[in-house]
Chain A
Amino acid sequence: MNQPTILDLIGTGPNGWGMALAAATVMTILIAVAGFAIGAVIGVFGAWAKVSGGPVTRGIAGFYTTVLRGIPDLLVIYLFYFGGSAAVTAIGRLFGAEGFIGFPGFLAGALAVGITSGAQQTEVFRGAFKAVHPGELEAATACGMSRSLRFRRILAPLTLRHAIPGMGNVWQVVLKESALVSVTGVVELLRQSQIGAGSTGLPFDFYVIAAAIYLAISTVSGGLLQLGEKRFTRGVRRG
């Protein structure tokens, strides 16, 4: 029997895995986007706690960023996956359910990726906030803006301007971290490639395809981020 070539594998023919790989790519992007969004929310609150919190909130936020940036992401994913399953099983037992209940891998993965990226985004937002010139905020107050208006019109856009390059870095990390979620059995790009590799005996081809798709996603999203950066810094005078 002829070995299918790499083009057969990514096609939609009888030997093709094209549709499965496309679905898996969508799943990878979903995990990365969900994780990134959770991380952004945590990051905003973490930065807020670090910038204007009291000693206790500052301490908690500092502990969180130190710990989550110092331990491997895989360990966090295991914590959420197995810890979540243990918690769900215990709750199930309270309501009279029998046996083991698994925690959804997607949720565990997105939460784990979100919490690790949240630690990084806390630092990104904190740095970006520090880069906002105090004079801008003073001017807003002098114009009679209320705190919420000042936040919405001045502080948030200016912080975002400084934060975009850092957020871009975090996004690239999150995208690659999403591959670790494959250990929970979620059929994302890497898991799908493992399945394909197992059933065709062509691991090299499948992992090369996966690597190429990851490269494509990171290149395209990198370009989009650069566009966003351009848009948010159009008011900055250069040179």
Chain B
Amino acid sequence: MDLPFLYETFLSLVAAVPLTLQLAASAIVLGAFLALGLALCRLSGILPLDWFARTYIFVFRGTPLLVQIFLIYYGLGQFREVRQSMFWVVLRDPYWCAVIALMLNTAAYSAEIIRGGLLSVPFGQIEAARACGMSRLMTFRRITLPLAIRQALPGYSNEMISMVKATSLASIITIMEVTGVAAKIISETYRAIEVFVVAGAIYLAINFILTRLVALAEYQLSPHLRQPAALPSTPTGAAR
């Protein structure tokens, strides 16, 4: 065991963790909004919107993420119109290309998870909200969405973990996040196993913390499943 080497590797890999987290967080947050839109398109009952969302989900779930990243990073630059447009500032930057590709990809997977969550809201709850006189928007904001999020959270946490893992693909378009740094160290030292162990431990730690956070959120969102907090015990004699 070469402890100094492991320690040195650990230091250089930990320095890259913020970039990995930043990539994952921006992709997940932006992707969640897009996914909600797609899920609503699928549930809208308006045929063109439904078919648009279906096609989008089919294409993005059926092709490898790496192809999508290449298509955005290398492919779009082929067109002079794109290179001369105002979007080029964003599209020539590998970081933003990675964020866009990850976001578009996770939106396709999350849309189906969110759709499942929305469909699982019992109709009685919506009916009760209507009976209380809530408008459609308020019903959605106060009743449907919170219940749907609670239902979808376990499935969504899987998607969040696979997004953390997917950020490693950004290293292929020159972004030096954890896997990028690990690959650089491996190709310089050819000590694949040591670097792999350290990098793997870092990803495991990130994913472990992420699952704990989601479990905490799930706990917060389902007070009805918890044991009620013990009431302060009243002295038995005083009640009589």
Contacts and interface: CB of A to CB of B under 8 A. Distances in A.
Interface residues of A, number: 42
Interface stretch (A43-51, A52-60, A69-77, A153-161): A69-77
A75 B64 contact: no
Interface of B: 58-59, 62-68, 70-71, 74-79, 161, 165-169, 171-172, 179, 182-183, 186-187, 190-193, 196, 199-200, 203-204, 207-208
Nearest to B169: A74
B24 to A, nearest CB: 11
A179 B182 CA distance: 20
A83 B67 CA distance: 26
Contact of A176 (B64, B71, B168, B190): B64
A190 B66 contact: yes
A77 to B, nearest CB: 10
Interface in A177-212: 177-180, 182-183, 190, 193-194, 197, 201-205, 207-208, 210-211
Given A75-B199, A78-B179, A203-B78, 5 more contacts: A67-B200, A70-B161, A175-B64, A203-B71, A211-B63
Interface of A: 66-67, 70-76, 78-79, 81-83, 85-86, 172, 175-180, 182-183, 190, 193-194, 197, 201-205, 207-208, 210-211, 214-215, 218-219
Given A78-B192, A78-B196, A71 B71 contact: no
A86 B194 CA distance: 12
B168 to A, nearest CB: 4
Contacts of A207: 67, 70-71, 74-75
A72 B191 CA distance: 18
B193 to A, nearest CB: 6
Nearest to A210: B67
Contacts, number: 120
A190 B64 contact: yes
A199 to B, nearest CB: 13
B179 A211 contact: no
Contact of A71 (B59, B67, B203): B203
A179 B70 CA distance: 11
Nearest to B197: A79
Nearest to B65: A176
Nearest to B77: A203
B204 to A, nearest CB: 5
A75 B168 contact: yes
Contact of B182 (A75, A197, A205): A75
Contact of A211 (B71, B169, B207): B71
Contacts of B70: 190, 193-194, 203, 207
Contacts of B161: 70
Given A67-B204, A183-B172, A203-B78, A215 B63 contact: yes
A83 B76 CA distance: 35
A177 B63 CA distance: 10
23 contacts: A70-B200, A71-B199, A71-B203, A72-B179, A72-B203, A75-B168, A75-B179, A75-B196, A75-B200, A78-B192, A82-B186, A82-B192, A83-B192, A176-B64, A180-B64, A180-B66, A190-B67, A190-B70, A193-B67, A204-B71, A204-B75, A207-B70, A210-B67
B78 A219 contact: no
A197 B75 CA distance: 9
A179 B68 contact: no
Query: Nearest 5 CB-CB pairs, A to B?
Result: A83-B192, A72-B168, A179-B64, A204-B75, A82-B192
Given A70-B161, A70-B204, A211-B68, A82 B63 contact: no
Nearest to B186: A82
B203 A74 contact: no
Contacts of A71: 165, 199-200, 203-204
A76 to B, nearest CB: 8
A214 B204 CA distance: 30
A25 B71 CA distance: 18
A67 B200 CA distance: 8
Contacts of B74: 197, 203-204, 207
A175 B168 CA distance: 18
Q: Considering residues A82, A178, A205, A218, which has the most beta carbons from chain B within 10 angstroms of its beta carbon?
A: A82
A86 B196 CA distance: 14
B186 to A, nearest CB: 5
A178 B64 CA distance: 9
